Homo-oligomer: A and B are copies of this chain.
Amino acid sequence: MTTSLSTTSYALLGLLVFDGVSSQQGMTGYELKQRADLTLRFYWVSPAMSQIYTELDKLRRHGLIDAVDDTAGKRTTRRFVITAEGRTSLETWLHTSEHEFPILKHPIALRLLMGALMGPGEIEAMLDGYTSALAKRRSELESVREMLGDDPAVAYPAHVAEWGLAYYDAEVEIVDKLRKKL
């Protein structure tokens, strides 16, 4: 059962291992997507809904999660629960896999590379736009950070959120300095 999965698969498995929160056992695909929007989005990707379901199916076929039909509510939904095998698989991945270097896809920096083809006003406008997009992102992540509070159960997610906030702050500062040099 060591057909290695993609990082995204393990990321979703990681959301399922800290399932906890809700009164129900396990999570629906829909809930998983919402959770991904609050966490994975900032440091990885938040897969499309369709991809979530595809991944869940793959994880289930690999025996890493169980699908449980939940008939408690008015409506039957499928809840997914990590299995013992899933837990060990995730831990093995954490312990043994390569720690790849982060990948940054930065359209703003890419465009600035071709700054000679843009007008100075256009560059200004682009950087302005980027700064406000950063501010928006930052406030979204700030809400997440506040939601986590100081509950020791989510100490690590809180650390990571703070990492993200510090990154956004650094980026704002870099852009400010850059603007002055232009």
Chain A interface (Cβ within 8 Å of chain B)?
7, 11, 14, 17-18, 39-40, 42-45, 90-91, 94-95, 99-118, 122, 126, 129-130, 133, 137, 155-157, 159-160, 162-164, 166-167, 170-171, 173-174, 177-178, 181-182
| Cβ-defined partner of A94 (8 Å) among B43, B90, B111, B133 | B111
Q: Given contacts A17-B117, A126-B99, is CB(A159)–CB(B112) below 8 Å?
A: yes
Q: Give 9 CB contacts A-B under 8 Å.
A: A39-B113, A43-B105, A44-B110, A91-B117, A95-B122, A99-B111, A104-B167, A113-B160, A116-B156
In the complex, which of the residues B39, B99, B114, B164 contacts A156, with contact meaning CB atoms closer than 8 Å? B114
Contacts of A17 in B (CB 8 A): 114, 117
Instruction: Note all chain B residues with C-beta closer than 8 A to A42.
Output: 104
Counting from the closest, the 6 A-B pairs by CB-CB distance are A170-B170, A115-B156, A43-B109, A102-B106, A103-B105, A43-B106
Complex CA–CA separation, A101 to B58 (angstroms): 30
Q: Return chain B residues, CB-CB under 8 Å to A159.
A: 112, 115, 178, 181-182
Report the separation of the CA atoms of residues A112 and B155 in the bound assembly, to the nearest whole angstrom. Answer: 10
A interface secondary structure, majority = helix
Residues of B within 8 A of A155 (CB): 115-116
CB distance from A102 to the nearest CB of B (A): 4
Most buried by B among A42, A90, A103, A178: A103
CB distance from A87 to the nearest CB of B (A): 8
Most-contacted residue by chain B among A11, A45, A99 (CB, 10 A): A99
Given contacts A14-B114, A99-B130, 14 further A-B contacts (CB under 8 A): A39-B113, A43-B106, A44-B107, A44-B109, A94-B114, A94-B122, A99-B107, A99-B108, A109-B163, A112-B156, A114-B156, A115-B156, A166-B174, A170-B170
